[in-house]
Amino acid sequence: MGTMLDTSIIKPYLKDLEGFLKNKFEDKEYNVKVKFKDDLENQQNSLNVSIEGKKDHGFVCTFSLSELPGNCGILVSHGLFINTTFQGRGLGQFLQDLKKKIAMAYGYTIMMCTTLENNSVENYLLKKNGWEISNKFLNKRTMHYCIEWKFIIPNKL
């Protein structure tokens, strides 16, 4: 079982995200907010970050980082989605850096994720950011070709 996360550790990184969004996207239409949920049900460390625009404009993006059940050294990155309005403008790259900083701050050793083999943008971003392919497989439940990725968290970024 892993140790509980000290949620104050993540706050400076969420401030950085808020700063990035404000610089890049804020105008009369959008007023971005960062929400942080720490779900420790079943003693499972899991963070979900989601950013919303003004009520009429829906959400900006969301992503989750969850500790792998059974191994407190591994963090699984999942649930990443950027609203199409905000895609292709550097937010995906910013989140790459942010997730590494969060994983490092909490002392994880390895980050893992999966993608669809045909997700060329996310696959490009992962490769560009030093992630390695650890496996490729056909998901027999969905018949989707998938890629498993891993990133070894360095001591310093």
Ligand X SMILES: CC(C)(COP(=O)(O)OP(=O)(O)OC[C@H]1O[C@@H](n2cnc3c(N)ncnc32)[C@H](O)[C@@H]1OP(=O)(O)O)[C@@H](O)C(=O)NCCC(=O)NCCS
* Residue (11 or 128) nearer to ligand X, CB: 128
Q: Which one of the spans 26-34, 43-51, 103-111, 113-121 is the region binding ligand X (CB under 6 A)?
A: 113-121
C-beta separation of 135 from 147 below 8 A: yes
The residue assigned the tokens 């907010």 is: 33
Closest separation between CB of residue 43 and ligand X, Å?
Answer: 27
105: nearest Cα among 41, 19, 47: 47
Is residue 127 involved in binding ligand X (CB under 6 A)? no
Closest separation between CB of residue 60 and ligand X, Å?
Answer: 10
HSE value, Cβ hemisphere, 13 Å, CA-based, for 62:
11
Bridge-based pairing state of the strands 132-139 and 144-152: antiparallel
Is residue 88 involved in binding ligand X (CB under 6 A)? yes
**Residues binding ligand X (CB under 6 A):** 80-82, 87-93, 115, 119-122, 124-125
